[in-house]
């Protein structure tokens, strides 16, 4: 069985594109959320191996969601999905606990590479 991934993006077509890439590469979909509030709730409920998190979303953005997820589980593995020009937000996400990022529009190989690296990353020091 493949690793379980939670997909978080407010755009339905982006979630569909990501889901297609993940399924084609042997990953299991733990669930899909369209905002940070849903993401935090679904993370706690499904305990995915990794979260692919958009930055800009309504209700709760990806940066706040990363912080909430990291409070719940310091070993959570999160890869951010960002649009061009969001470098400052990407840096803030990494400082909040995300392990990597993928820039939209993304190449399927880059998505899989970022996921594989994040899943292989050592658990954070001090835990």
Residue 47's CATH number: 3.40.50.2300
Residue 127 lies in a domain: no
Q: Evaluate whether residue 112 is within a structural domain.
A: yes
Q: By three-state DSSP, how is residue 124 classified?
A: coil
Tell me how many domains the chain contains. 1
Whether the bond between 105 and the residue before it is cis, its omega within 30 degrees of 0, is yes
CA distance 85 to 49: 28
Sorting pLDDT into bands at 50, 70 and 90, what band is 1? low
Provide the pLDDT confidence category of residue 125 given band limits of 50, 70 and 90: very low
Q: What is the pTM of this model?
A: 0.91
pLDDT tens digits for range 63-107: 999 999 999 999 999 999 988 677 788 888 889 999 999 988 888
Judge whether 125 lies within some domain: no
Q: Which domain holds residue 34?
A: 4-120
């Amino acid at each position: 069985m493949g690793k379980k991934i939670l997909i978080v993006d407010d755009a339905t077509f982006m979630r569909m594109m990501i889901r297609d890439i993940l399924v084609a590469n042997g990953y299991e979909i733990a669930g899909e959320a369209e905002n940070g509030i849903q993401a935090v709730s679904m993370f706690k409920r499904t305990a995915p191996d990794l979260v692919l998190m958009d930055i800009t979303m309504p209700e709760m953005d990806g940066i706040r969601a990363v912080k909430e997820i990291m409070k719940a589980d310091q070993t959570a593995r999160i890869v951010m999905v960002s649009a061009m020009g969001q470098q400052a937000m990407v840096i803030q996400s990494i400082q909040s606990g995300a392990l990597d990022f993928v820039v939209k529009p993304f190449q399927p190989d880059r998505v899989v590479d970022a996921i594989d690296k994040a899943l292989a990353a050592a658990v954070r020091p001090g835990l």
